Structure 1
Amino acid sequence: MLYFFQQVLNGLHSGALYALLAFGYVLTNGILHRTNLAYGAVFAFCGHTMILAAAFGYQALWLTLYASVALGVLAAFLYAALISRVLSRNVFEPLADRSPNAIVVTTLGVLLVLSESSRIAADTHDLWLPPMLAVPVVFAEHDGFKATLTLIQLLDCAAVLVAIALAAWAFARSRFGRSWRAVSDDPRAAAMCGVDVRSVFRQAVLLGGFCAALAGVLAGIYYGNISFGTGLVYGLKVLFVTAVGGYLSPPRAALGAAAFGMAESLWAGYFPLEWRDAWMYLFLVAMLVLIGAGRDQQKIA
């Protein structure tokens, strides 16, 4: 039982990262209604940028470790703002009314550009941050076995919980949240009612980019490294995970993503790790089929 509790604790951390990514992904996809393969690349690029900037601050500027990490965090969010601006103005807006395949192909190209840029910047080497705040916090103990989370895991979970809670509260009560829901339902009707559709879309892409940057920073600090090839894997995972939670509600998408992270952790604890992704993707496909069948039955009824 204590071993199961440990896997649940592990799932809290991975689920928190998935939830933050899903929340940010829906902000863009809910308006665009197109598959955005570049979102995972933004996550990986910002996390990798944080590590590179921290290494530069530590080695070249002789900053302390935590000052170097702070410099890396600042660089990650600046790049997230720049990438979000370029994507919203030069990619999404010109292609929004064209074939859905145009967005898919273009964002795949953006993913490749960001991945290669990270690889070139790192000279194809993996840089690692030293372990930080890796002090274990014991939640339960029996017969020498301890169920623990490290301090950095707890801080990551707390940061994600606060970020999503504040964003969900603001999303439900702010003018931007009302405008986002209106544009998501019908952008032309929203424009006729006086909503600045372009401004809402650009803000949504920017906030989604900040969510990806925050997730990349938290993952980079915890794992110590984010490879330049991570973007495609996380991009596909976020795409499928968010589909289960739904593309029309960021909080619901975050909740579904957190459940997926928990299920992934439980699989890793009890079954072969090399089959984890294959079975989890199969589970997601089955969930999508069941959800689609349920919606069709509701329409018939």
Structure 2
Amino acid sequence: MAYFLQQLASALPIAALYALLAFGYSIAFSVTRRADLTYGALFGFSGQIFLLFSDFAWNRLWLVLPLALALGAVMALAYTFGAGLLIGRSVMRRLATNSANTVVVASLGVALVLMELSRLAAETRSLWLPPFLNTPVILWPDPQFPVTLTLIQLANTLLMVALVIGGQVFLARSAWGRSWRAVSDDAGAAALCGVDGRRVFIAAYAFSALLAAIAGILATAYYGTMDFGAGIVFGVKVLVIAAIGGQTAPLLAALGAAAMGLGETLWSAYGPMLWRDFAIFSFLVLLLVLTRKEQFQP
């Protein structure tokens, strides 16, 4: 029983990460209606920029660790948000009205550019953060097998859940959220009602990039590093997991992604690790085929 509870507790950080990623992706997808690998690339790019500037602040500026991490986080937010804003305004807004294949190819190109930029900046070195906030917190005081999580796991989980809840409240109650829903449902009708679809599109893409940047920073702080190829891997993974709950419904997409994170952790605990990704993605493909809905514009 204690082992099962530990697996449930260990699933919380990854489920929260997947939920935040799917939530942010769904905000952008609702206005583009195109499969987009850029979101995962921005996630990986944020983590790599966080590592680069934290390493620079620690080894070149001789800052203490909290200040080095803070500088890295600020620069990662600035670079990733700026990249997302530029991509949304100059690339995706121009291509979203074309065929879906155009956006997929462009997003793959953007992902490769971001991946190579970070790799060249790091001189192909794998940078690692020193462990911090790794004090275990006992959740279930079993003398034989205590259930624990570290401080950084708890902090990341709470912050990611708060971002999803806060984002949903903002979308539901703000004036911009109403404009976003109008453009998502019918951009032509929204334009007739005076809604500037261009600004809503760019703002949605920038909001999505901001959430990807935060997720990249938190994930890198937890795992200690971010691989150069993580952008494409997470781009494909987010594309699939966001579709579980519905790519145009951010909260449902987040809940579906959290369920996948739970399933992935339980499979790692009780099933063969070699077959984990194959089993998870096979189940997702089967689920999408059985519950397929037409979500892309012709």
Taking structure 1 as the reference length, the TM-score comes to: 0.96
Aligned to 1:167: 167
Residues in 2 aligned to 1:162 and 1:100: alpha-carbon distance in whole angstroms: 33
CA RMSD in angstroms comes to 1.1
Residues in 2 aligned to 1:96 and 1:221: alpha-carbon distance in whole angstroms: 34
Aligned to 1:54: 54
Q: Between the two proteins, what is the percent identity of the paired residues?
A: 47
Aligned to 1:204: 204
Q: 1:119-268 residue pairs with structure 2 within 5 A?
A: 119-268=119-268
Check if 1:14 corresponds to 2:14: yes
Aligned to 1:281: 281
Deviations 1:207-240 (A, max 9, x none): 1001100110000100100011111111111000
Deviations 1:79-113 (A, max 9, x none): 12211121111111111211111100000000111
Q: 1:21-100 residue pairs with structure 2 within 5 A?
A: 21-100=21-100
Residues in 1 aligned to 2:120 and 2:144: alpha-carbon distance in whole angstroms: 47
Check if 1:102 corresponds to 2:102: yes
Q: CA deviation at 1:141?
A: 3.5
Residues in 1 aligned to 2:117 and 2:144: alpha-carbon distance in whole angstroms: 47
Instruction: Give 3-state SS (helix, strand or coil) of 2:140's partner.
Output: strand
Aligned to 1:299: none
Taking structure 2 as the reference length, the TM-score comes to: 0.96
Deviations 1:40-88 (A, max 9, x none): 1100010110011000001111111010000000011101221112111
Residues in 2 aligned to 1:94 and 1:171: alpha-carbon distance in whole angstroms: 25
Aligned to 2:290: 290
Count residues with an aligned counterpart: 294
Q: CA deviation at 1:290?
A: 2.3
Deviations 1:137-184 (A, max 9, x none): 111143521211100000001101111111111110111111111101
Letter in 1 for 2:218: L
Instruction: Give 3-state SS (helix, strand or coil) of 1:211's partner.
Output: helix
Further displaced range: 283-292 or 4-13: 283-292
Residues in 2 aligned to 1:124 and 1:146: alpha-carbon distance in whole angstroms: 40
Residues in 2 aligned to 1:113 and 1:224: alpha-carbon distance in whole angstroms: 23
Q: Which structure 1 segments of 5+ residues have no match?
A: 297-301
Letter in 1 for 2:118: S
Paired residues of 2:81 and 2:213 also in contact (CA < 8 A): no
Letter in 1 for 2:104: V
